[in-house]
Amino acid sequence: MEEWVGGLWHKYITRKANPEFDHARVSFNEVSKSVGMIFRALGGDAVKRIEAATGREYLSRKSLLQKISGDTQLVSLAWQDEESLRLPESLAIFDDKSLNYDLYIWLAVLAAHHSGKFSHWATDNQNLVVNVLEQFPALRNRYARLAKAFVKSRLEINQLPKAEQEMERAIVKAILSPGSVSQFPMVNFAPKAVYLWLYPSAFSDDVLVPEYQEFEELKENEDTQKKVAKKSQASRKKAERVDSPDEKQGMIIFRLESLFSWSEFSKIDRGCDDSDDDDDTSKVVEDLDKITLAKQQDQQKSAQIRIDLDLPSASEDDIPLGEGFKLPEWNYKKQTLEEDRCLLQPMLPKDAKAAKLPPRLQKIAKSIQAQFEQLRSVKYWLKAQPQGEELDLNAWLDFHVESKIAPSAEKGLYKSFRGNNRDLSCLLLADLSMSTDAHLDNENRVIDVVQDSLLLFGEALQSVGDNFAMYGFSSVKRHNVRFTMLKNFNEKYSDVVRGRIQAIRPGFYTRMGAAIRQATHVINEQKTSEKLLLILTDGKPNDIDHYEGRFGIEDTHNAIKEAKQLGIKPFCITIDTDAQEYLPYLFGSDGFTVILRPEQLPLRLPQLYHQLTSQ
């Protein structure tokens, strides 16, 4: 009975205290694609992620009901940093759903023209609005509707304490007439959230950069490690750094006010690879308003053991070929290519034995080979030749007409039948990261589909006689980029190669830039006139060090640009449903394709090659 009454009371208080209009709510997921297109089309950084932002502490004055309910302790605001643009998880501040949608669009337009840094929040936002409206006059009516509705939604000025009335007047005037307010008064409380403006980043650099000195990679790490498995879109959390608590000493103090919010210290060593899913920890992270980071005073043995286990033991690992060699990597912050930054290790799949094509693929392989043999037999006519097998009637007719008008020299009057000379090389680079261990159904994993695709690809290119090679890649930080050789350009496609393909296993992470640079070097040594680099992947570039996020995207973009400068044509084939967010920047609008049904990849891969090389 008490729970039932308590539930009714909570719903009543929450509803009374909530100033939003739930029936007109627009969530970020509904508009994420639209705001992403607008942000990038109007000049926003093409690499920035467009994501939802969790609520953050906002010290504005709360009503009594709001204090009791506790529902408005956090406010979801729009902000951006170098990595991403963060927009509210949902908007329901207007009684009209179309206005809430328009507000998302407006925030994306503002963000596209703002660097992300503020000298004075209110003044800078006014100037930003003025610049946007001058550059895009068509937005003035939309902004006027938003401004009028937003001012109407705020409290009456005379209902505020006298000390805050002047601030509210200045904000209302700045909203209705951008650029008209040059001085804003100082008050103890922040004004009620101004959703039409952008806010400073929720993070500061000294909070985000770890202070650990024991490991070079941890000094470089600017982002927390992300899970490779697909999950629902998570919102970024606010963080603070504190000293590590002494577990053997201390005093517990309980305050009744703590019932309205809670926090927790989770002892997680960032020096190791937390690759195992911990559902309880994930749920705790979702509930926390602020995540607290502390520097560990004493390095535990267990953490060191976890780091040593980042790679399999030598007896279980693939076979290394030589000592490896160093490759450069692009540092987008310094805008420089840092030499000898990565160590790439060529490898052969462990336990690979010569094997025939699996029986389940033989029928499909014969069908694909029949299609590709047409490329070998394609022939064409060279017209207007001085000699040939047949008379070129069009050329003869032109000559006959010209000779009637005036004397003219005899031109080429014959057609010559020529065979098709396919002077090209192709290198297929397959992503073998741990995400390929994910299941597509009860029987097949992504890695199984990749294996079938490579096998059918090899059968197809063998039938047409094209020069090709196949490699796989994965990585564990920059000092261990694994480059698995399946077939080089000097080998024939045989049962030995088929055996290697059937022996590949899911690896680690996706340091794509280094793998592309090595693949570029290999294919550039071929003497053919056309060179095609096919990249088969299921996700974006990532690794567990600084390579996560924009660093990996920018490095891959630079590696692809280097390949194009050498006359190599890169093309990406992906099964990542989120590929539209980053692949246009990496490969261009016509440099990639998305396979929405991964099980179709084995058939689609040879077809795509056919299309790319028969033009």
Element of type H or E holding 607: helix 601-613
Out of 155, 176, 197, a domain closes at 176
Same domain, 8 and 38: yes
Mean of all residue pLDDT scores within the chain:
79
Out of 363, 391, 419, a domain closes at 419
Residue 546: inside a domain: yes
Same domain, 94 and 241: no
CATH of the domain at 469: 3.40.50.410
Report the distance separating Cα 384 and Cα 382, nearest Å: 7
Judge contact between 73 and 56, C-beta under 8 A.
no
User: Which residues span the domain enclosing 56?
Assistant: 2-176
- With a cut of 60, say whether residue 490 has pLDDT above it: yes
Indicate the pLDDT class of residue 291, thresholds 50, 70 and 90: low
Query: Which residue in 194, 31, 199, 37 sits closest to 109, CA to CA?
Result: 37
Indicate the pLDDT class of residue 300, thresholds 50, 70 and 90: very low
Q: How many helices (H) and strands (E) does the chain have?
A: 19, 21
The pLDDT value recorded for residue 207 is 35
Higher pLDDT, 427 or 309: 427
Same domain, 350 and 485: yes
Q: Which one of 163-167, 405-409, 538-542, 558-562 scores highest in mean pLDDT?
A: 558-562
Indicate the pLDDT class of residue 282, thresholds 50, 70 and 90: low
Report the distance separating Cα 316 and Cα 311, nearest Å: 10
Report the distance separating Cα 526 and Cα 530, nearest Å: 9
Same domain, 262 and 332: no
Same domain, 226 and 284: yes
* pLDDT tens for each residue of 475-487: 999 999 999 999 9
Same domain, 386 and 510: no
Same domain, 170 and 266: no
Q: Residue 420 has which token pair?
A: 């098709």
- With a cut of 50, say whether residue 157 has pLDDT above it: yes
The pLDDT value recorded for residue 393 is 82
Same domain, 368 and 393: no
Q: Any idea how long the chain is?
A: 615
Residue partners of 530: CB distance under 8 A and separation at least 6: 423, 424, 425, 569, 613
Report the distance separating Cα 575 and Cα 464, nearest Å: 26
Same domain, 492 and 411: no
Report the distance separating Cα 59 and Cα 62, nearest Å: 9
CA 564 to chain centre: 22
Lowest mean pLDDT segment, chosen from 26-35, 322-331, 356-365, 394-403: 394-403
Domain tally, the chain: 4
Residue 409: inside a domain: yes
Same domain, 359 and 383: no
Same domain, 391 and 504: no
DSSP assigned state of 495 = H
DSSP assigned state of 509 = B
Residue 24: inside a domain: yes
Strands (E), 23-127: 26-27, 49-53, 56-57, 74-75, 79-80, 84-88, 90-91
* pLDDT tens for each residue of 531-587: 999 999 998 999 988 898 889 999 999 999 999 999 999 999 999 988 888 899 999
Same domain, 565 and 464: yes
Cα separations (Å) of 37 from 50, 105, 475, 491? 10, 10, 32, 45
